[in-house]
Amino acid sequence: MSKNLGELAGRKGLTQNLFEELGIAARQTGSPSVEKMEKLADEFVMGKANVYGAASFYDFLKPENKGKKVYVCNGSSCMTAGTQDVLKEKLLKHFKQDEIGEMCCLGRCHENSSFHIAGKNYSGHAVDGIDAIKKSNSVVADKYNIASFGTAVLTSPFPGIKEYYSILADALKKPADDLLNELKISGLRGRGGAGFPIAIKLEGCKKEISKQKFIVCNADEGDPGAYSDRYLLEQQPHSVLLGMMIAGYITGADTGVVYIRGEYPEAISITQEAIKELHQQKLLGENILNSGFNFNFKVISAQGAYICGEETALLSSIEGQRPEVRVRPPYPVQQGLFNKPTVVNNVETLACIPYIIKNGGAKFASVGLGKSTGTKLISLDGYFNKPGIYEVDMGTSLSVVINDLGGGFRSKIKAMHIGGPLGGLVPVEKINDLTVDFESFSKNGFLLGHASVVCIPEDFPIIKYLEHLFAFTAHESCGKCFPCRLGSTRGAEMLKKAQESNYRIDKTLFDDLIETLEIGSLCALGGGLPLPVKNALQYFDDELSVYFKT
């Protein structure tokens, strides 16, 4: 059924998009009306149930979203920082209770106290100037540390369009196979968590025969604690756009889709402005630089769904379908957006491509450690003395990141959740054992993932944090597979009950639950949740044992 719906959605392509139309319909009230959804169903030849099922999935389109005027961040970093209760109290002086909603996560993890109002994000002490914000809808720019330790692949100053896009001019003079070979030599692996080599995806898409192919940038950075993608889109957008264009040239794709999470409004506007600049410089459209290469961009604003970070759910979302994970094969490089060959990669991965094409794959491969080549962006939250975005060579000691770049912790910390909600829960005593690369984290039973760091202070109960992870998964599950949909809900219920009553969790039952999640889930949302849970049970047994039957 989803394949047929993909074909129907593809009739109008990206020029008039059902997903975007639903977002437009929700602008005035916060949720599209039933009448508007029925009209869109007829216009796009979709079933009414399909359109309602899609719209009712997204946080920003649900009927519960009606009447909301301000949204408080409920991400992991803001939660462990303990700033949001005070923030809500201050907002209640200006808004009614039912006018305050929640968003996750706003990417303001470096200073917390994050909230969203009138299409813009704020954090830190901004709430104290809420009257001025309401009157002028002014932007209060956030500031955080940005530095590199080793090779500056993604943190170098932007030299200007003319100089930077000379990389494209040179690339278009070379055969696509030569550029693909440089990416193979580079060993560039996906920076979104899976670590899959990008050259394999590009080659797979290149081999497919189709009049239409797509390059999709997965900018739905939903991992609480991670804001490296936001940094790139807001401060280095051309590295991402140029990376997509080169990927398009290699594969034979002529369209790039930048799917940016709605929680990053500034990233959306800045990326759109960067694309406008390229049009003005005649670097987009037909026959770019008289090379015969055609390419255009489409920016799509997401509507609040963590599962859209999974590539197949993201593609279904663009098509206006409910964003459920697809069974593979076929893989997106074979049948992706509108059933056409599609390469989906995250922001940081695509942003590395221009450096490789300019300097050669061997140069990139010489940076890093083993199969973890190149550099990695790391997001440090507000518990560090110097929070911010740091670019380090793969293989850099985690101790250097924590103590030298981040300046150490400003208060006592017992653990760090590294790599997003599905990443490893790392006790502080393991800091000296880890280096920033895929292999080191995997060998020690963790996951590098997005390399975001959310700190858990000594006085924050681990069981409360685990309940948060299960509840997060339950809320964000696409619902397609039973293990994720039901298992996450049951896990959250057990952990909550154990904290609020004399109930003690049966260890065998709990182990069975996380094993079922791990091996039975269709994607990494349910399948990845057991990792931090297992880490917690291993390293914080003394703290957790009182909640389990002996």
What are the sequence ranges of the domains in the chain?
A: 2-65, 70-136, 145-368, 370-457, 462-547
Reported residue count of the chain is 550
pLDDT tens string 431-450: 999 999 999 999 999 999 88
Phi and psi of 195, rounded to 5°?
Answer: 70, 30
**Helix%, strand%, coil% for the chain, nearest 5:** 45, 15, 35
Helix axes 237-251, 198-207, angle to 10 degrees: 40
The whole-number pLDDT of residue 35 equals: 94
Q: Which fold has domain 462-547?
A: de novo design (two linked rop proteins) (1.20.1440)
Task: Give me the helices (H) in 82-165, please.
Answer: 84-91, 130-136, 161-164
The average pLDDT across 403-424 equals: 96
> What is the spatial order of strands in the sheet that 115-117 belongs to?
100-103, 70-73, 115-117, 120-122
Q: Decide if 377 contacts 389 (C-beta within 8 A).
A: yes
**Three-class DSSP labels, 434-469:** CECCHHHHHHCCCCCCCCEEEEEECCCCHHHHHHHH
The average pLDDT across 268-290 equals: 97
> In whole numbers, what is the pLDDT of the chain averaged over residues?
94
The average pLDDT across 280-288 equals: 97
- Cα-based distances in Å from 307 to 89, 241, 473, 484: 30, 24, 9, 12
Q: Residue 7: which pLDDT band, with cuts at 50, 70 and 90?
A: confident
Q: Decide if 333 contacts 208 (C-beta within 8 A).
A: yes
Q: Decide if 483 contacts 257 (C-beta within 8 A).
A: no
* pTM, rounded to two decimals: 0.95
- DSSP annotation of 221 reads -
The average pLDDT across 314-325 equals: 93
- For the structural domain made of 370-457, what CATH number should be given? 3.10.20.600
Of 12-21, 162-171, 241-250, 357-366, which gets the smallest average pLDDT? 12-21
What residue type is 76 in one-letter code? S
Phi and psi of 312, rounded to 5°?
Answer: -75, -35
| pLDDT for residue 159 is more than 90 | yes
The whole-number pLDDT of residue 66 equals: 87
- Beta carbons within 10 angstroms of residue 145's beta carbon: 16
Q: Residue 2: which pLDDT band, with cuts at 50, 70 and 90?
A: low
The average pLDDT across 254-270 equals: 95
Q: Decide if 382 contacts 112 (C-beta within 8 A).
A: yes
Q: How far apart are CA 107 and CA 221, in angstroms?
A: 9
The whole-number pLDDT of residue 12 equals: 76
* 475: region left, alpha or beta (phi > 0 left; psi from -120 to 50 alpha): alpha
pLDDT tens string 498-548: 999 999 999 999 999 999 999 999 999 999 999 999 999 999 999 999 999
- For the structural domain made of 2-65, what CATH number should be given? 1.10.10
Q: How far apart are CA 412 and CA 425, in angstroms?
A: 16
- For residue 346, the SS3 value is strand
The whole-number pLDDT of residue 6 equals: 76
Share of the chain above pLDDT 70, in %: 99
Q: Residue 1: which pLDDT band, with cuts at 50, 70 and 90?
A: very low
- Beta carbons within 10 angstroms of residue 111's beta carbon: 20
What residue type is 417 in one-letter code? H
- For the structural domain made of 145-368, what CATH number should be given? 3.40.50.11540
Instruction: List, as one string, the DSSP characters of 378-435.
Output: EEE-TTBSS-EEEEEETT-BHHIIIIIIS--BSS-EEEEEESSTTSEEEEGGGGGG-B
The average pLDDT across 228-233 equals: 96
The whole-number pLDDT of residue 27 equals: 87
